[in-house]
């Protein structure tokens, strides 16, 4: 709550100061938290912060003013993008007048903003992803991009278009975003898929088709296979090093795999560790699957 809200509820300025001094209430930015002080760990999540995600967003809007917009993980999750990051970012045109622990303030032109009842303002999810990526180191950024591509919340072309629009002369993080754009446009969804593509070049049993769309008898999309041998009906699925089996992703992956099996596909699944540390075992499994199908 704000101090004005508390006064409207009947608390005097003295009683507010007294509760803050006693530790019953705490300040977070310009908001007053009625309870323990928030402990927000941007890389670890919001669960232990003491505030709900909506509460964090409200406190950020109160702290940074009506012209600020919430970006980063909060904006992506507001749009339904469940990605493995909890970076808290606020976008402003002007220099911030206050610093809040665990919050990164980015200065740039805002463009399109989603305004919710109550005054909370969010940047679009794609822009929130870009804001987050420029905050991360190279490995963490690549992992987040891989996760976004693997979970189908973005595609390579739309991501490249957003990067092109963002990366004007002198823009913060332009080199980082261009490198990630090139990665996304490399022909596969993730570094893991690039690794598998390289392995399949050593396997003389192709052709292997990347990102094959499989449809049911009614023409509805049933699944998209990372690498498929259409003639033999072999599907290869890869998990990148950023792969996170949250419950929703776990359920979706298993449903998709079951649909492929029922449709007659032989599904092989390989992890990042298998592809990078035991590639010969991966190739042996693929070769065995091919020989089994050839002699079926």
Question: At 258, which CATH number?
Answer: 3.40.960.10
pLDDT at residue 3, as a whole number: 56
In a domain? residue 11 = no
In a domain? residue 4 = no
Domain boundary among 138, 162, 184: 184
Q: By residue range, what is the domain housing residue 160?
A: 38-184
Is the pLDDT at 145 greater than 70? The verdict is yes
In a domain? residue 21 = no
> Over pLDDT 90: what percentage of the chain?
31
| Same structural domain, 258 and 143 | no
Number of structural domains the chain divides into: 2
| Same structural domain, 156 and 206 | no
Domain boundary among 145, 166, 184: 184
Is the pLDDT at 134 greater than 60? The verdict is yes
| Same structural domain, 70 and 111 | yes
| Same structural domain, 157 and 87 | yes
Give 1-42 pLDDT, tens digit per residue. 565 665 666 667 777 677 767 766 666 666 666 666 555 554
For residues 192 and 272, what is the distance between their CA atoms, to the nearest angstrom?
6
In a domain? residue 180 = yes
pTM score: 0.64
44 confidence band (pLDDT: 50, 70, 90): very low
| Same structural domain, 199 and 136 | no
| Same structural domain, 152 and 230 | no
> Over pLDDT 70: what percentage of the chain?
78
| Same structural domain, 215 and 271 | yes
Strands 266-271 and 234-239: parallel
In a domain? residue 117 = yes
Sign of CA dihedral 104, 109, 111, 117: positive
Q: Of residues 260 and 101, which shows the higher confidence score?
A: 260
| Same structural domain, 144 and 231 | no
| Same structural domain, 208 and 263 | yes
In a domain? residue 16 = no
| Same structural domain, 225 and 146 | no
| Same structural domain, 107 and 215 | no
In a domain? residue 24 = no
Give 213-240 pLDDT, tens digit per residue. 888 888 888 888 989 999 999 999 988 6
Domain boundary among 154, 184, 214: 184
3-class SS letters over the chain: CCHHHHHHCCCCHHHHHHHHHHCCCEEECCEEECCCCCCCECCCECCCCCCCHHHHHHHHHHHHCCCCEEEHHHHHHHCCCCCCCCCEEEEECCCCCCCCCCEEEEECCCCCCEECCCCCEECCHHHHHHHHHCCCCHHHHHHHHHHHHHCCCCCHHHHHHHHHHHCCCCCCCHHHHHHHHHHHCCCCCCHHHHHHHHHHHCCCCCCCEEEEEEECCCCCEEEEEEEEECCCCEEEEEECCCCCCCHHHHHHHHHHHHHHHHCCCEEEEEEHHHHHHCHHHHHHHHHHHHHHHHCC
CB 215 within 8 A of CB 202: no
In a domain? residue 178 = yes
């Amino acid at each position: 709550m704000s101090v004005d809200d508390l006064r409207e509820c009947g608390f005097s300025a003295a009683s507010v100061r007294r509760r803050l001094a006693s530790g019953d209430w705490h300040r977070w930015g310009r908001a007053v938290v009625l309870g323990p002080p928030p402990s927000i760990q941007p890389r670890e999540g919001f669960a232990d912060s003491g505030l709900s995600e909506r509460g964090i967003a409200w406190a950020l809007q109160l702290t940074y003013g009506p012209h600020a917009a919430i970006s980063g993980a909060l904006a992506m999750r507001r749009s339904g993008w469940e990605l493995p990051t909890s970076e808290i970012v606020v976008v402003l045109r002007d220099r911030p007048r206050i610093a809040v622990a665990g919050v990164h303030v980015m200065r740039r032109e805002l463009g399109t903003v989603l305004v919710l009842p109550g005054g909370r303002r969010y940047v679009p999810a794609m822009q929130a992803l870009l804001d987050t990526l420029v905050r991360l180191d190279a490995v963490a950024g690549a992992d987040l991009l891989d996760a976004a591509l693997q979970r189908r919340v973005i595609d390579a072309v739309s991501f490249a278009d957003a990067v092109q629009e963002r990366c004007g002369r002198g823009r913060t993080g332009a080199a980082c975003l261009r490198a990630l754009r090139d990665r996304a446009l490399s022909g596969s969804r993730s570094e893991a898929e690039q690794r598998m593509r390289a392995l399949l070049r050593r396997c003389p049993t192709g052709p292997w088709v990347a990102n094959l769309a499989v449809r049911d008898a009614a023409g509805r999309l049933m699944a998209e296979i990372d690498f498929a041998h259409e003639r033999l009906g072999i599907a290869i699925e890869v998990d990148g090093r950023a792969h996170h089996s949250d419950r929703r992703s776990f359920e979706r992956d298993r449903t998709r795999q079951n649909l492929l099996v029922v449709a007659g596909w032989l599904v092989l699944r390989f992890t990042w560790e298998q592809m990078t540390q035991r590639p010969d075992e991966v190739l042996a499994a693929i070769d065995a699957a091919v020989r089994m199908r050839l002699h079926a």
